[in-house]
Structure 1
Amino acid sequence: MSETQLQAARAGKITPAMEQVAAQEGQDAGSIRELVAQGKIAIPANPGHTSLAPRGVGQGLSVKVNANLGSSPDRCDPVEEAEKLAAALEAGADAVMDLSTGGDLTAMRRQVLNLSPVPVGTVPIYQAAVEVTAEGRGIIDITAEDLFRVIEQQAAEGVDFMTVHCGVTRAAVEHLRSEGRITDVVSRGGSFLTCWMLANEQENPLYEQYDRLLDICQKHDVTLSLGDGLRPGCLADATDRAQVSELITLGALTQRAWDAGVQVMIEGPGHVPLDQVQANVVLQKRLCHGAPFYVLGPLVTDIAAGHDHVACAIGGALAAWAGADFLCYVTPSEHLALPGPNDVYEGVITTRIAAHAADIARGNQAAIARDRAMAQARKAMDWDAMFELCLDPKTAKAMRAGSPPGEEEVCTMCGKYCAMKLVNEHLHGKD
C-alpha cells in the first residue's frame, strides 16, 4: 500500500508534491514537510489524477481559492461544464469541485479530472443520491453500500479531495431540532443525511463507518474535506448549537484521520455576521487542532442576491486574515441559478481579490511586493506592467481599450488633468 503525503512527511520524506508546493510558495521544502506532518498543511494529490500540479493549503501558505462547477437536473451540458472549468482556470482558481447532479456524472467528473491541472474535489453523496433516485428509490433509501461504492469509485478515478458530512450525527440533528433555526439545513449533502437519519432512525453511516472511509482515503491518498452539513444558511442561525456541536465532532474525527495517515481539511460556515467571522475561525482552529480551514464565503449579509460574490469576498477577506486557509468562491448567481462560465470567471476573480487582500494583511511578502510593483508601475504610467500585475488583466485591458484617452499615458477618468502626470512633471521634472 502506497504512502500518503501525511505518512511520507511523518517518515521524514520530502515528496515531489512537497517540492512543488515549496517552489510555488517560495519556501523551504523541509518546512513544508514539517507542517504536512503536523496536519497543518494539506496537499490534495491523488496519484490517480495524472494531470495534477499540486497545491498546498494551510498554515504559512498563500490563501487558496476554490471554484464549484457542475451540472444540475435542469442544466447538464458537458460542453458548458468544460467552458466553466476553462473560465475558472483562466481566472486563477487553485482548485475546483465537480458538484454535478445532472447528466452522466461519471463522464462529467472524468472530463474535469482529465482537463484540470489543479486539485479536483467532489461530494460523493450527490452521485449516490442521483443513482438511487434513477432506480426509482428515494434519497432515504440510500444504503451504506451505495455510498461507499461511490466513494471507492471516485477515489480510484483520481479525485483529490472529498467533502463528506461525517459530523451530521443524530445528536447534532437533535441540537438542530431544539435550536429552532430559520433555515434549518442548507447544505445539500447535509440535508440528504439529515432526512435519511430521521426516516431510518439510524446513525449517519459516514460517522458510524468512519474507519471504512479512512481506509479508502489512505489507499488513494484522498484528502478528507470534513463538511459542515449544519452550516448556517442565514445570519440569524450563525454560531448556534447545531453548528458548533458538528464542529466539535469534526475535531475528534480530524485526529482519527491523522492517526490513519489521512490528510484533512475542515469546512466552515456559509452565512456569518461580520462581527462573528473571526470568532468562527478561532473556534475551528482550536477545536480541530490547526487543520486547514476551508470556508464558503462566508457571506456577511443575506440580502445581496445577484451580488453575493461581493458579500462573499467581504467575509472571505476577513476570514482569511483571521486564519482561514481556503476560500470557496460564490458567484453572482448564488441563490438564483446555476452559474455559467461568465459567473464562474467573475466569482473566482472576486474571491482572489479577497484572498490577496488577506495575504497582504498576513504578511505574505510576495503579495506585498506585487502591490508595491503596481504602485511603481502607476507612477511610471507603465500600462503594460500594470496589466501584467493586476489580478484580472483581461478585464482591465478591455476597459481601457473601450475608452481610449486623448493622451496615451493617461486614462479617460482625468485625461490631461491626471494627478500623477501633473505631479510627475512639476515635482520630479518628468515630461
Structure 2
Amino acid sequence: MSCITQPAQAKAGIITDAMKHVAEVEMVSPETIRAAVAAGTVVIPANINHKGLVPVGIGRSLKTKINANIGNSALSSCPRQELEKLRHALKYGADTVMDLSTGGNINQIRRSIIEHSPAPIGTVPMYEVLARCETVDNLSESFILDVMREQAEQGVDYMTIHAGLLKAHIPAAKKRMLRIVSRGGSILAAWMNKNNRENPFYTAFDEILEICRRYDVTLSLGDGMRPGCLADASDEAQFAELDVLGELVRRCRAADVQAMVEGPGHIPFNEIEMNMKREQRVCDDAPFYILGPVVTDCAPGYDHITSAIGATMGAFHGAAMLCYVTPKEHIGLPNARDVRDGVIAYKIAAHAADVALGKPGARDRDDAISRARADFDWEKQFELALDPEKARELRAEALAERDMPADHDHKDERFCTMCGPNFCSVRISREL
C-alpha cells in the first residue's frame, strides 16, 4: 500500500506540514511551495519513516542548498567516525547528508546516521548492492529492488540511482580520456557490457517508483556519465544520458514521485551556464543537484576551492543544490576536518549565489556583519560569521603575534592588526 506522497497531496490542493515549514524558512507563501511541489520544480525529501526529520525544500526558486557526503570505504573509517563526520556536517551548515559507505557495517552506519540526523539523508543503493554481492557477476534486478526496499523502510529520504546510463551510451564513453568516473555508473556499464543486457535500474523503473511511492522517497537521478575531467566535459555521452533523465523525470511526476537530477562534475567555467540551462530545458526544470562543478583539474588538495568557484556559477544559473567537494577529492577519504572545510566552502558558494539572485533575506547576514564591522563589534562579527570558530581562531592568532593573551578583551579595539590604529580606514573615515 502506498502512502500519499508530497506531490500527490500538493496536486490535490493540500498544504502539508512539511510544505508549511519550508514556506516559513524560505519566506514565501505556503501556496507557492504547494504549487511548486505539485509541478515538480521543488522537492521535499521526507521519508515517512525518518523520525525527527526537519523538512528541507530543494528547487531553484528557493535558497540554494548544500549536501555533504560522508561514509566509510573498505579501507577506512568506522561507525563512530561517520557520526563525527555527520556532526561536523550539520554543525557547519549542510542541508542534507549522503551516506556513501562502501565498506563494512553499511546497514549499522546508515541506521545510526538516520537516527542522529534531523537533515534529510541520501544514499546510493548500488554501493550496498555491490558490497553485499561482492562481485558484479552476482548483481541482479531483484536484489537491487530488495536493497532499495530495505533502505526505504529504514528511513532514507532520497536515493541516487543511475537509471539513465543505457547500454547504447557505452561506446561514447570509450572515446573519453577518463571514460566513466562515477562509481555506480562504471559498475553498471561493466555489468551491461558483460551480460549484453540493459541497465537494471532502467528496466525496473516502474518497480522502483512503487517503492518510492510507498515511503515518499525522492529519487535523485544520477549522472553516471558525468565528466571526470575538463577534456570530457559537455560531450556526447553526458548529454545522451541527460536526455534519458528527462524522460525519467516525467515518469516520476506521472507516478507522484519526487525527483531531482544530478549534474556534471568537471566543467570549464565558460560552459557552466549552458549546462544549467540545458538541464532546465531537457528535464522540465526539475531541481538540479550538481557536484561542483570542478573548473580546473590541476589543483589536488584544493578542490574544495576549484569546485566552489564552479558551484557559485552553477547556483547563479539555476542549480538548486550543491554537492560539496572536500580538499581530499581525488586523493582519499575525507576526515572530519575535511568535511568542515568542504561544507564551509560550499556554504560560501551557495550564499554568494543567493545574494546575487536576490533571494528573500539572503543579504541580511551580510548587512548585519557590515554594521558590526563599522562599530568594531568583534563579538557580533564572530557570531554572524559562517564559521565563527575559524574567525575566532584567526583573531586569537593575530593577538598572539602582538604578545597578547587569546582571551584578551578586544571589544574596545577600534582597529585590526592588519592596519593598526594609525592606518585603520574605517576609523579614519568615520572622523570625516
Measured in 2, the distance between the counterparts of 1:387 and 1:79 equals 30
Measured in 2, the distance between the counterparts of 1:294 and 1:394 equals 29
Other-structure match for 2:315? 320
Other-structure match for 1:206? 201
Tell me, what secondary structure is at the counterpart of 2:237?
helix
Query: Are 1:414 and 2:424 matched, yes or no?
Result: no
Alignment partner for residue 142 of structure 2, among 122, 140, 145? Answer: 145
Other-structure match for 1:249? 244
1:370 Cα deviation from its structure 2 partner: 1.9
Other-structure match for 1:65? 66
Other-structure match for 1:50? 51
Measured in 2, the distance between the counterparts of 1:346 and 1:51 equals 27
- 8 Å contact 1:327–1:355 — kept in the other structure? yes
Tell me, what secondary structure is at the counterpart of 1:402?
helix
1:267 Cα deviation from its structure 2 partner: 0.0
Tell me, what secondary structure is at the counterpart of 1:294?
strand
Measured in 2, the distance between the counterparts of 1:409 and 1:103 equals 55
What one-letter code is carried by the residue in structure 2 that aligns with 1:372? D
Other-structure match for 1:348? 343
Other-structure match for 1:3? 4
1:27 Cα deviation from its structure 2 partner: 1.2
- 8 Å contact 1:65–1:94 — kept in the other structure? yes
1:414 Cα deviation from its structure 2 partner: 1.2
Measured in 2, the distance between the counterparts of 1:139 and 1:91 equals 37
Tell me, what secondary structure is at the counterpart of 2:361?
helix
Alignment of 1:19-34 (within 5 A): 19-34=20-35
Other-structure match for 1:185? 180
1:412 Cα deviation from its structure 2 partner: 1.1
What one-letter code is carried by the residue in structure 2 that aligns with 1:232? P
| RMSD (CA atoms) | 1.1
Measured in 2, the distance between the counterparts of 1:101 and 1:321 equals 33
Alignment of 1:82-161 (within 5 A): 82-133=83-134, 138-161=135-158
What one-letter code is carried by the residue in structure 1 that aligns with 2:85? K
Measured in 2, the distance between the counterparts of 1:274 and 1:206 equals 32
1:365 Cα deviation from its structure 2 partner: 3.2
Alignment partner for residue 220 of structure 2, among 218, 225, 234? Answer: 225
Other-structure match for 1:170? 167
Tell me, what secondary structure is at the counterpart of 1:403?
helix
- 8 Å contact 2:376–2:413 — kept in the other structure? no
Cα deviation digits, residues 369-427 of structure 1 (max 9, x gap): 22122222111111122112221111101111222268723221112121111222x21
- 8 Å contact 2:67–2:94 — kept in the other structure? yes
Measured in 2, the distance between the counterparts of 1:343 and 1:233 equals 21
Cα deviation digits, residues 318-340 of structure 1 (max 9, x gap): 00000101000000010001000
Cα deviation digits, residues 2-34 of structure 1 (max 9, x gap): 211111100100001101111111111111000
Query: Are 1:400 and 2:398 matched, yes or no?
Result: no
1:173 Cα deviation from its structure 2 partner: 1.5
Other-structure match for 1:304? 299
User: Normalised by the size of structure 1, how large is the TM-score?
Assistant: 0.96
Measured in 1, the distance between the counterparts of 2:88 and 2:173 equals 38
1:73 Cα deviation from its structure 2 partner: 0.3
Measured in 1, the distance between the counterparts of 2:77 and 2:142 equals 27
Query: Which shifted more, 402-411 or 266-275?
Result: 402-411
Cα deviation digits, residues 231-250 of structure 1 (max 9, x gap): 00000100101000000000
- 8 Å contact 2:227–2:267 — kept in the other structure? yes
- 8 Å contact 1:76–1:103 — kept in the other structure? no
Query: Are 1:234 and 2:240 matched, yes or no?
Result: no
User: Normalised by the size of structure 2, how large is the TM-score?
Assistant: 0.96
1:76 Cα deviation from its structure 2 partner: 2.9
Query: Are 1:80 and 2:104 matched, yes or no?
Result: no
- 8 Å contact 1:62–1:359 — kept in the other structure? yes
Other-structure match for 1:38? 39
Measured in 2, the distance between the counterparts of 1:27 and 1:182 equals 45
Other-structure match for 2:429? 423
Measured in 2, the distance between the counterparts of 1:115 and 1:409 equals 43
1:144 Cα deviation from its structure 2 partner: 0.9
Give the percent of matched residue pairs that are identical in Structure 1 and Structure 2. Answer: 47
Tell me, what secondary structure is at the counterpart of 1:44?
coil
Moved segments of 4+, more than 3 Å:
none
- 8 Å contact 1:121–1:161 — kept in the other structure? yes
- 8 Å contact 2:126–2:144 — kept in the other structure? yes
Unaligned 5+ residue runs, structure 2? Answer: 405-411
- 8 Å contact 2:53–2:119 — kept in the other structure? yes
- 8 Å contact 2:42–2:287 — kept in the other structure? yes
What one-letter code is carried by the residue in structure 2 that aligns with 1:130? A
Cα deviation digits, residues 72-128 of structure 1 (max 9, x gap): 000131111111000001110000000001111000000110011100000001001
- 8 Å contact 2:26–2:360 — kept in the other structure? no
Alignment partner for residue 391 of structure 1, among 386, 392, 397? Answer: 386
Measured in 1, the distance between the counterparts of 2:9 and 2:55 equals 16
